[in-house]
Structure 1
Amino acid sequence: MPNNIDLWDRETWDAIRRARAITYGDIAEATGITYKAVSKWFYSERNPSLRSQILMAKCLGIPLTEALKNITDPSVRAAIRSVIL
Structure 2
Amino acid sequence: MTDINLWDRKSWDAVRRAKGVTYSEISEATGITYKAVTKWFYGERVPSLRNQILMAQCLGIPLTQALKNISDPDIRSAIRSVIL
Give TM-score, length-normalised by structure 2. Answer: 0.87
Per the alignment, in what secondary structure is the counterpart of residue 82 of structure 2?
helix
Q: Which moved more, 1:6-15 or 1:73-82?
A: 73-82
Deviation at 1:53, TM superposition (A): 0.8
Aligned twin of 1:49:
48
State how far apart, in whole Å, the 2-side matches of 1:33 and 1:78 are.
Answer: 24
State the aligned residue count: 84
CA-to-aligned-CA distance 1:14-44 (integer Å, 9 cap, x gap): 1111111111111111111111000000111
For the pair 1:38 / 2:37, whether they are aligned, the reply is yes
What is the percent sequence identity of the aligned residues?
Answer: 74
Question: Which structure 2 segments of 5+ residues have no match?
Answer: none
Structure 1 residue runs of 5 or longer lacking an equivalent are: none
The aligned residue for residue 72 of structure 1 is 71
**Secondary structure of 1:46 counterpart:** coil
- Cα contact 2:3–2:66 (8 A) shared by 1: yes
CA contact (8 A) 2:6 2:67 kept: yes
Where does residue 9 of structure 1 map in the other structure? Answer: 8
Q: Give the TM-score taking structure 1 as reference length.
A: 0.86
Range 64-73 or range 30-39, more displaced: 64-73
Deviating 4+ runs (over 3 angstroms)? none
